[in-house]
Structure 1
């Protein structure tokens, strides 16, 4: 008789198998640390046994026991053989007890699973939310889910086959657990939706106490603006962080995260959590007026509309990066920080799309045409991002976030290059502006107003421009105040020098020499006034102001000489008598009327300059007129058309910009 025992599945046996081979009985035994199903092939000759009917593994074990007992009953066995058969019978008895214990355990697991399944299914059909049922209902549900999770782990660790009762229970456990995880996702979204702060609520938090301007919120495409906090550069601080959800629900969110992570559903939790905050961030951007625009949309946008969108982009960048993302990162750390790296990965995933939208708009503006009217916007965008770089570095300093951080640093560089290129283009425009006709009335040319108002606005960005602009080198102003020299000051003085040169060319368009000086007087005086009454004074210095004050005063003197010298020459007495005196007074009257006719139409915008000029003219004219009449012996009242008082009043009509006639 030969007996072959192959233990390839079945009950775990910690004891080493006895090694035996004697008296015609050979045994091959493979031991594994798992439950073992013995398969026995018998060749017994004339020996017969009656084995009762059993099912499955128990049937095999009982059959083996009958065989062992039959063999042990033979009389011709040696003592050694009888000992071996006794040991085998003991092993088979132990296997029988373990199999019975396994059956009881399997039955208990099934009962627990069916009970948990029933409770979880009841919640699936319940329209109310678990977290609205109160703490006891939440605790009971989480306990049931955790029970299913532990049973799933136990079944998975014990089962090595792909069939049988254990496999059936494992499939059931996975199904119940999956149902519970899907419900927990719904509960998570429900908690977030009910307890997250809206944009208006965030604007009412202490973090917004420094808001520096109120901006109307409108649904019109070109008028959507928002509250913007006044912020200073630097990394995030507690003062700039708000609670995005009510603090009392953080523990609820964390409990869902823990059970889903423990159940190997971490990806599903992260996807739901990230999706909610990704949508919330997208909604905030829309409220702040940052829509989804392609580079082509931005490049083809009309300037007025683009200007408004740039303003919104600047404000939105501050709000989103310094307030919303800093607050969101803290929330992700609170919920996922104990679970390791998912916190940072999920935060980056939730913010990536919106950050790329901000980046794409900035890129589109930076690569657009470097038109002078865009310089202020380029500077604003540069200053906003430069002030946020430390915050961006703190938010995106690891993993995939490094890509976002690097892109923002690169955008700052591109905007700085755009500032320099646009400022250079502005200087070229000033130098190359041409005119073919003289500017009427000798007033302040539009180019002068444009340039001086433009650079006056740039003075607000002095520190930024000092960092970005380079010196013109040999073109710098050699007489500028050395103690106020800076790159921006050098550039600004160079621009006004180009303006003066251009104005001198434009003055040559006048045929009347006096009007040429009048025009230059007006425009240089306007330049001096703009510098003297603004922050530009600090960049141009007192020496520049003195020098250019002397320039417009010299042009005023030259105007008076060109206009009134020939008129007053008619009143030169030189001992004239009789008809010569009459001819002089008549000639003066006609000349005065001509000047009055034309120069009442000339215009001096500044009242103080106009008054000074009128006083100077009046002093010279009235003094000469009174002296001539006083010395004359041949002129009576019929030849005197205007009294000195009337002349004084007529002189006050000059330079008002409205031509008049005395005839």
Structure 2
């Protein structure tokens, strides 16, 4: 009794044969029939047993019970096949089919339970990490005793996560094998696809993969599109190597007996997401082309190309061929886009129409742009080789051999990447030849060509281009540079060279020597004045030119000067001779090619011979030397190595600033001030570039996570270079001895940034410094938030979302907010405070500029969710949102403590308030829903658990997991009832009676509110109990449901909220229901047993009592055989109580009167009962 079944069991029912009749047996029954009957009976026993224990899972512990269950289903299937072969309409077949249907429903629930409860162990990463091992694990389909040993041996050396994962995969395969074999593949597959597709879709969403149309992508600004491409590049590797690969492994394992099911499941789960993933590059490739998009396009091409073997293998099914085709089409489109952009790049070089010559013959912007672009292209040489392999170079004449050196390929008609790069450089050099003609001075045009070709050669030598173009190409172009230098010397210094006598040591009269001296000095001064503003940025080239000039000029001049100095002294005077001594001529030459001259004249003799004049003048001279030196070395960073150069440079700028302040106070020093201002502007531009370079080149080391990881006192002990102490390097070394390389670089970069910021702010260039900082850092923060899935959404967009989509977005937000607050914003605050430590106003203003918008966007999402339509299913995610903000509130309050960031704090606070209101509304709606429930106006069959009970108690037990948060939310929220709650429903819950009494002005605790919700449920169940026609069945119904409530309380956090007294009082109520059931349901049976079963009575009297007992017992039994008590403990309690009151007295009566009953009733009836 109290095991749910559709009909009384023929084997166990006392009504199988009537008293006075004998069972008959069919003469046609065989041993096989008996075996099949036994299979059905065993299956029924197991299936019914587990149906009454639906809260317990089959697949627990050593899986012994699971094996028995699956064995029974397998045997039941054999019995069904046997009876089908005899008669398709037999009662036994119908019974077996009903049992099979019940078993399949159970296995379907078990299948879902394993899939959903093991999500973290069956995530694609866990599955893919042990794919080779998983294949060695057998399933339960063969039910071998050795399975456990095999599983144990195989998993000895793997982690706990993998153990659970492999066991879950094996369980799933066992159930799938069983259900497919029984013809329930459709039901099994439906559950599998539903759960796994949600996991894959959610995984893709977290990776930033979203459905976009071509028109949406076309309308995007490039900076937004670039962020999305970067996100896609990260996503595609994880999606292919983990998400899709893991899913393929899992589906292949679970559905290994059926290839068609494997294919169907995998295609249904991953097909849509993969199509969306690989559709993005194709749409990007179709968009309008621009040169800035080249490298991201190549990144996407390389990603798909590198992943192609995995894509081809994972999506090898016929049904997933569209995914392979889409990935291949994306490759083709991206290749076409790259070819188009290469053509556009060449065309852009040829069409460059800038007509203004570069000042001082320096590096042309076109040269820098083209060579930087080509050197970056050189990093993609392998991919580009594939793209241009069948794409011939569209030129109609052979490329000049002088530009190629000894390339292995024939230039004409070739399509190799080496020749294509050489061609692009040739197009640039030809363009530069034309731009050299813009200079009026021929010698300056050679300096321009030498500078630009040297820049090209250095770029080739210091990049992958050197491997593509070869050493001969480099050597030939270096020879070309020397040719340009030689032409410059010949044209630019010809007058000076011709002024020197062919034989500088020849005998001359003083007058002749004087004429030559003046002619030489005049031509030298003319050349010097003209060239003092010219520049040669490359230090090696600059030194080579100076050495060559000194060799051709200073060496012969020294011989001439030494030979005729005596005669020249008498005619020219000592001043001229000292000023133009060979050493000074050499010094004059050494001052050339730095780009900043001495405004029109050679230095006076006083400046060349005397030590120094004033401190401020020396400061200016020192600053000019430092600034000019580094302007000529613009490809090298000042902040490299031991920072000695940086200290010298910043010291020089500090001295220059002091000199400027002095000149401002002396109104007569206008020329000096103008010169100092010019130098300061040059220095500030250089420091701006250095500041940007440190920020951008150290992005990995200055990412918020790296910064926040060492935000302790270590960072604060690192000095900046603003004080330029000699001890700085020792301090940095000692402080960073125990930390990682990333942190070393990070701390050094922060110190460098602070030094530059201090210097620029002190010099009045705060605006320029902050602008660079904000641009770089805001981009990092915005990109970080984008990768975390934070996006701008309007209330109308949120309102229109289906709940499953909104839930994914909430889950994403819950992960994002922790990272954003604890890492992104926290790290940015630390960095901002460190770099701009000297100015609180700058720190505040620009931290808000960088983080304010993103933080406001982040914290506005929960408020929008809270304002959207309420429903009970949203309760727990709403509580998650509330809990996340509450937990993070100390950090939010600290990080955004500035007045300018008060809007962020207000937004987070408003979200908390709105979420609070939303939770209260949903709790009210939940109570109202219980009260208004009109489900199942028919009574629950068998007096079982009402669906409302399951729903409400599951809901409330989940609420109990949020007890801390809910206590805050309901703290000042009075319970809307007008009478005290019945004490019997509350117990003491560790509060006094007054705490449970409620009124409109009271503030009940969470325990009272939870108890009230349960009371509302129990009152509703009292009403539903009246639907039963049988008087005793309502008590079974109430007992079952109250037992379910009590068990839920005991097995959850509710036991701590409601207390032991509450539980004990409800258990007493439960026993009361059981007693009432016995009193009503078995009263006629109890009354049929004599008060004194040992009393002496005649056989006729005994027969009368016996008949009355059997009649009342059969009536009660037949009525209650279909009733159910799902809880084993309650079931045992009822049975034990009834048996105690019936079996004991009846046994005494039976033993006392058995002989007499046999004579008057016959042995069959007496034996049966």
| Equivalent residue, structure 1, for 2:290 | 371
SS in structure 2 of the partner of residue 130 of structure 1: coil
User: Does 2:186 match 1:267?
Assistant: yes
| Equivalent residue, structure 2, for 1:488 | 417
| Equivalent residue, structure 2, for 1:338 | 257
- Size of the alignment, in residue pairs? 527
| Equivalent residue, structure 2, for 1:80 | none
Q: Distance in 1 between matches of 2:127 and 2:596?
A: 58
Give a deviation string over 1:61-80, Cα, whole Å, max 9, x none.
xxxxxxxxxxxxxxxxxxxx
| Equivalent residue, structure 2, for 1:464 | 383
Unaligned segments of structure 2, at least 5 residues? 1-23, 133-160, 604-1169
| Equivalent residue, structure 2, for 1:136 | 64
SS in structure 2 of the partner of residue 380 of structure 1: helix
Change (3 A) 1:203 1:196: closer
| Structure 1 residues 49-128: aligned runs within 5 Å | 118-124=48-54, 126=55, 128=56
Q: Distance in 2 between matches of 1:610 and 1:202?
A: 62
Change (3 A) 1:597 1:149: farther
Q: Distance in 2 between matches of 1:445 and 1:622?
A: 32
Q: Distance in 1 between matches of 2:39 and 2:254?
A: 33
- Flag the structure with more relative contact order, 1 or 2, with Cα contacts below 8 A and sequence separation at least 6: 2
Q: Distance in 2 between matches of 1:490 and 1:265?
A: 64
Q: Distance in 2 between matches of 1:307 and 1:592?
A: 55
Give a deviation string over 1:438-471, Cα, whole Å, max 9, x none.
1122122222122223222333333433332223
Q: Distance in 1 between matches of 2:385 and 2:252?
A: 40
SS in structure 2 of the partner of residue 405 of structure 1: helix
| Equivalent residue, structure 2, for 1:504 | 433
CA shift for structure 1 position 191:
5.4
| Structure 1 residues 209-608: aligned runs within 5 Å | 246-286=165-205, 288-469=207-388, 470-472=391-393, 473-479=395-401, 480=404, 481=406, 483-485=408-410, 487-570=416-499, 585-586=517-518, 588-589=520-521, 592-593=524-525, 595-608=527-540
Decide which structure has greater helix share: 2
Change (3 A) 1:541 1:195: closer
Checking the alignment, whether the CA contact within 8 Å between 1:188 and 1:256 is kept in structure 2 is: no
Give a deviation string over 1:145-197, Cα, whole Å, max 9, x none.
55776777788888878xx9899868955763564254233333245425325
| Structure 1 residues 616-627: aligned runs within 5 Å | 616-623=548-555, 625-626=557-558
CA shift for structure 1 position 521:
0.6
User: Does 2:573 match 1:636?
Assistant: yes
CA shift for structure 1 position 653:
1.1
Change (3 A) 1:543 1:167: closer
SS in structure 2 of the partner of residue 658 of structure 1: coil
Q: Distance in 1 between matches of 2:588 and 2:129?
A: 64
Checking the alignment, whether the CA contact within 8 Å between 1:477 and 1:493 is kept in structure 2 is: no
Change (3 A) 1:192 1:264: farther
Q: Distance in 1 between matches of 2:41 and 2:382?
A: 76
| Equivalent residue, structure 1, for 2:111 | 185
Change (3 A) 1:294 1:149: farther
Change (3 A) 1:548 1:179: closer
Checking the alignment, whether the CA contact within 8 Å between 2:124 and 2:247 is kept in structure 1 is: no
Q: Distance in 2 between matches of 1:591 and 1:283?
A: 79
| Equivalent residue, structure 1, for 2:953 | none
Q: Distance in 1 between matches of 2:260 and 2:369?
A: 56
Match of 2:544 among 609, 612, 615: 612
Checking the alignment, whether the CA contact within 8 Å between 1:443 and 1:605 is kept in structure 2 is: yes
CA shift for structure 1 position 597:
4.5
User: Does 2:595 match 1:657?
Assistant: yes
Change (3 A) 1:105 1:606: closer
Checking the alignment, whether the CA contact within 8 Å between 1:148 and 1:176 is kept in structure 2 is: no
SS in structure 1 of the partner of residue 255 of structure 2: helix
TM-score, normalising length: structure 1: 0.68
TM-score, normalising length: structure 2: 0.40
SS in structure 2 of the partner of residue 195 of structure 1: coil
Checking the alignment, whether the CA contact within 8 Å between 1:131 and 1:187 is kept in structure 2 is: no
SS in structure 1 of the partner of residue 316 of structure 2: coil
Checking the alignment, whether the CA contact within 8 Å between 2:40 and 2:96 is kept in structure 1 is: no
Give a deviation string over 1:483-529, Cα, whole Å, max 9, x none.
24562122111111110111122222222222111100111122223
| Equivalent residue, structure 2, for 1:230 | none
Q: Distance in 2 between matches of 1:244 and 1:507?
A: 73
Change (3 A) 1:483 1:112: closer
CA shift for structure 1 position 431:
1.6
Checking the alignment, whether the CA contact within 8 Å between 1:489 and 1:540 is kept in structure 2 is: yes
Change (3 A) 1:462 1:658: same
Give a deviation string over 1:114-156, Cα, whole Å, max 9, x none.
86674343233x2x43323652332354456557767777888
CA shift for structure 1 position 248:
2.9
Unaligned segments of structure 1, at least 5 residues? 1-93, 208-241
Change (3 A) 1:531 1:311: same
CA shift for structure 1 position 639:
3.4
CA shift for structure 1 position 612:
0.8
Q: Distance in 1 between matches of 2:26 and 2:454?
A: 114
CA shift for structure 1 position 553:
1.5
CA shift for structure 1 position 348:
2.1
Root-mean-square deviation (CA, aligned residues, Å) is: 4.2
More displaced, 134-143 or 557-566?
Answer: 134-143
User: Does 2:578 match 1:648?
Assistant: no
Checking the alignment, whether the CA contact within 8 Å between 1:622 and 1:647 is kept in structure 2 is: yes
CA shift for structure 1 position 317:
3.1
Checking the alignment, whether the CA contact within 8 Å between 2:124 and 2:243 is kept in structure 1 is: no
Checking the alignment, whether the CA contact within 8 Å between 2:197 and 2:269 is kept in structure 1 is: yes
Give a deviation string over 1:332-387, Cα, whole Å, max 9, x none.
22221213421122122222122112211111222123323333333333233234
